[in-house]
Every structure is written in structure tokens, then in C-alpha cells.
Amino acid sequence: MKVQLPKGTFDILPVADESWRTSDLWQHVEEVIRKTTAEYGYREIRTPIYESAELFDRGVGETTDIVMKEMFTFEDRSGRKISLRPEGTAAVARAFVENNLQQLGPTHKFFYIGPMFRYERPQSGRYRQHHQFGVEAYGVSTPEQDAEVIDLLLQVYKRLGLKNLKVHVNTVGDLESRKLYREALMEYLKPHFGELSDDSKTRFEKNPLRILDSKNPKDKEIVREAPSILNHLTPDAKAHFQALCHLLDQIQIHYEIDDRIVRGLDYYNKTVFEVLTEDIGAQNTIGAGGRYDGLIGQFEGPDLPAVGFATGLERVLQTMMAQKVPYPKSSRPLIYFIPLGEESREKCFQLASLCRHTHIPSDIELYAKKVPAAIQNALRSEAKFVCILGSEELQSGKAKLKNLATREEKEIHFDHLIPYLRENHLISTTNSSEHR
Ligand code: ATP
Ligand code: MG
């Protein structure tokens, strides 16, 4: 029986090719994320990959694409309605409230990395299981917090080596601004109602702002001439947005103001932003986020302001590949032991274990019976040295190390082998400029 991957999913493999599905690349990206978030004071939070369906129905919003058509929702064996998580923000808010984390202090900064699930038409940059890195900062309502999360996202992209990114920022105002804007927008859309897509017709009464986010070409054309939210802001919402733009200017972040961004989720207020690339085709938004001051209160938690973002790792990795960004490999064996015969097999096994116990990456040939086949395996493992060990070496007490790249050979007494390798390992990890 041959079973294949479900549609819209993919494997991440330890295969060193130029693909974004190479596990070395994923490890590198996750490492950069972990290091950068720590430097900005964010701590990791992990939530389950499935939750009660109502969390997303209420938390993400009934008129969003995600809830209307993209959720993997099913009943478990006891008839509970379950959804695979389509995004991280609602789940983090749920976990925060459920674990009473507000007791730990007035402000909180979280990050997460993990798979998300959306029942979308599979295509380049759009998968049914994809991965997001996101952050959520709770407790601060001033624009420095918005600027900090934007800066963090761009810093991660920069450290990953991404180039030519565009940052679009906008504000969707506060409730009062949106009420004013909603009226203006409905007034504008009314004469075009008949031409709108069916989804947008549904949204017209329930949540007309959502129409700005439509991917339907005709809808897009209609909203091009729609009034701008920027002309309907309350003084408070306007001041917040101006202060954010000023802060971004001060830290040399280049952005464009794009008054068409509303984002695909219902919980946003004030700041919204997107980061785009021109290098991966149609699915060009790599990261997006905004402020969502009411969400935690909506889950019966404290009424804390909040701002965050999520970035799709597939699109980030695809951009890295398209831009030919170099990245480091994960560690490969420093030494590959090849035993000749039973006795030396025991010695090799001891030496390999000793290496590993002292943090020296090493491997041992346990399969091939012939030296050329064993050397092939050593080359494939990308080891630096190979050590072929037979009765001669056992008698002399000396190992022969061969550098696979330079073909140089060196004889070392067994007792000196580990210190020699450790020194070599230190040198190679400190100059880990082995990029590709
Ligand atoms: P899009 O406009 O592309 O549908 P979205 O508005 O649904 O994106 P968000 O819900 O904000 O996106 O998700 C955050 C990020 O996750 C996106 O910017 C994108 O990089 C990534 N993403 C979203 N859906 C998918 C998917 N189906 N496959 C791969 N990445 C995705
Ligand atoms: Mg989407």
C-alpha cells in the first residue's frame, strides 16, 4: 500500500538541496527567531494545535475568510466541536486568561512558533498546514509597543538576510473612528452592491470593512476608489498613528502608509501592518499584524491592550531561497570512525561514544563491510575527518586521521585524540562561516 501526503501539506527533510524544505534551513530560521525574540524580552508560549471551535469563531471573527471557509473543524468521538488552530492570537489570549497570567505582572510579551491549519486551495505559498512565528505584547497601549513589534519583525527578517522588503502600515482607528468610517464606506458601496462578490454582499451589513480585504478582482476594483479611513479618525486614533509613524522614522524603518489594509481578522484596532516581498509571486505578504485591544477582555480576561504579528515561515524561507541568501548548516560529524574487523569495531565504538559524551560530533560506520563503501558514507555524512582503524592501529595505539577535504593524514595516539578533536571542533565552530 502506498500512502501519500494529504493535499496542501509537505515534508521538511534532512536533504541538503536548494529547497526551502531542507530541515537545516528551518533550524537556522528558528534559532534566529529564538535569539532575537529573547533579546527583545519575549518568552515562548506553546498552545495545543487544536482548540474548541468556538474559540476561533468568536476570537477570529465570523465574517473572516478563516472562519467562513478555511477552518478544519470536526467532532471528536464524544461530539465536541474541535478546530485545528488556523492562527495563534486567539489561542494565546485563551491560554493567558485560563492560566491567570495577569497575576505575574502588568505587561507580558510572548512568542510562538508552530503549525497552523487552513483549508485553502493549495498553491505556491498557500498550504493547508503552514507554520507561523508570531508575537503578542500585552499591557501597553502606547505606540512604542506597536513600533517595537514592527521593529522586532523587521530585525528577524534582516538577521535572516532578507532584502527588498516593503512595510505597509495603516490604522483601522478605534471603535468610534470605525463607526464613522463604516457609514462612509457603506454609502460609497451602496451603488455598487449588485456588482460585489457574494461573500462581500454578506459582509456589507455585518462587517463592510472586511470588503477592503477581499481577494476578488471585481471587489478590489470597486474598493480602489472607496473613501479612506484616514479621513475618519478620532483625534485619539489619529494621534496614536502619527506617533507610531514618528517612532518608525526615528529608528530608520522605511514604510508606506497604505489605507487599504484592514487585515483578515476581526480583532484589530488602531495599528495594522504588513510586510511584503516581490520575490515569491502572488502570495507576497510574508508577515502581518496589528493592535487588538479588546480581545483579551472578550475572553473574560483583564481588559489589557495588545499588539502582535504573525509571519508565515514558508513564505519567509521561499523568499530566502529566491534571494539566494546563504545560511549555516547544522553540525556535521567532525570525525567518522571506520572499523576494520570485530576488535577494532569495539575500539571505534568506545572512541565515538567518548567523542559524543564530550560534545564532539562524531559518527561510526556500522553497516558497510568494505572500506570504499564506508568512505562513501563518510563523505555523505559531510564529516571532516575519517579514522580507519584496524589491527595495526590497535597494536601501535595510534589512530590515523584523514582530512577528507585536503586528504592530509595525521597519526595521533589514542590518548591525544579527544583533546586534538576538541580543539579542532572549537576552531570550526568559532569560524562557522561555512555558509551555503
Ligand atoms: P493571505 O492574505 O495570504 O491569505 P492572511 O491574511 O490569511 O494571508 P494571516 O492570517 O495574517 O494571513 O497570517 C499571517 C501570515 O501567515 C501571512 O502573512 C502568511 O505569511 C502566512 N499564511 C497565511 N495563510 C497561509 C497559508 N495557507 N499557507 C502559507 N502561509 C500562510
Ligand atoms: Mg488568508
The CATH code of the domain that includes 408 is 3.40.50.800
State the ligand closest to the CA atom of 315.
1
Are residues 339 and 298 part of one domain? Answer: no
Q: How far does residue 118's CA lie from ligand 2's centre (Å)? A: 8
Are residues 305 and 417 part of one domain? Answer: no
Residue 64 lies in a domain: yes
**Domain boundary residue among 289, 322, 355?**
322
Are residues 168 and 249 part of one domain? Answer: yes
| 112, 117, 283, 291, best to mutate for ligand 1 pocket (most atoms within 8 Å of CB) | 283
Are residues 277 and 414 part of one domain? Answer: no
- Closest-lying ligand 1 atom to the alpha carbon of residue 274: 18
Q: How far does residue 166's CA lie from ligand 2's centre (Å)? A: 19
Q: Contact 244/271 with Cβ under 8 angstroms? A: yes
State the ligand closest to the CA atom of 8.
1
| Half-sphere exposure (Cβ direction) of 407: Cα atoms closer than 13 Å | 0
Q: How far does residue 318's CA lie from ligand 1's centre (Å)? A: 14
What's 40's domain CATH number?
3.30.930.10
Q: State the angle between helix axes of 89-98 and 53-60 in degrees (0 to 180), rounded to the nearest 10.
A: 110
Task: Using 70 as the pLDDT threshold, list the residues of the chain that sit under it.
Answer: 264-266, 431-436
Task: Tell me, yes or no, if the pTM score tops 0.85.
Answer: yes
Q: How far does residue 115's CA lie from ligand 1's centre (Å)? A: 12
- Closest-lying ligand 1 atom to the alpha carbon of residue 315: 20
Are residues 376 and 289 part of one domain? Answer: no
Residue 329 lies in a domain: no
State the ligand closest to the CA atom of 319.
1
Are residues 302 and 344 part of one domain? Answer: no
Q: Contact 428/384 with Cβ under 8 angstroms? A: yes
Residues spanned by the domain of 41: 23-174+234-322
Q: Where are the alpha helices (DSSP H) in 143-277?
A: 143-160, 175-189, 198-206, 217-223, 235-250
Residue 185 lies in a domain: no
Name the domain count of the chain.
2
H or E segment and range at residue 127 = none
Q: How far does residue 47's CA lie from ligand 2's centre (Å)? A: 21
Are residues 307 and 375 part of one domain? Answer: no
| 172, 212, 315, 319, best to mutate for ligand 1 pocket (most atoms within 8 Å of CB) | 315
Residue 190 lies in a domain: no
Average pLDDT score over the chain: 94
Check if 118 has its Cβ closer than 6 Å to any atom of ligand 1: yes
**What residue's CA is closest to ligand 1, atom 24?**
126
Are residues 413 and 269 part of one domain? Answer: no
Residue 222 lies in a domain: no
What are the distances in angstroms from CA 178 to CA 185, 209, 308, 372? 10, 9, 20, 72
**Domain boundary residue among 287, 322, 357?**
322
State the ligand closest to the CA atom of 288.
1
Residue 192 lies in a domain: no
Check if 315 has its Cβ closer than 6 Å to any atom of ligand 1: yes
**What residue's CA is closest to ligand 1, atom 8?**
285
H or E segment and range at residue 133 = strand 129-138
**Domain boundary residue among 322, 343, 362?**
322
**What residue's CA is closest to ligand 1, atom 30?**
312
Are residues 274 and 352 part of one domain? Answer: no
Are residues 427 and 352 part of one domain? Answer: yes
Check if 313 has its Cβ closer than 6 Å to any atom of ligand 1: no
Residue 59 lies in a domain: yes
Check if 168 has its Cβ closer than 6 Å to any atom of ligand 1: no
Residue 261 lies in a domain: yes
Are residues 141 and 51 part of one domain? Answer: yes
Are residues 75 and 139 part of one domain? Answer: yes
Q: Where are the alpha helices (DSSP H) in 251-306?
A: 295-298
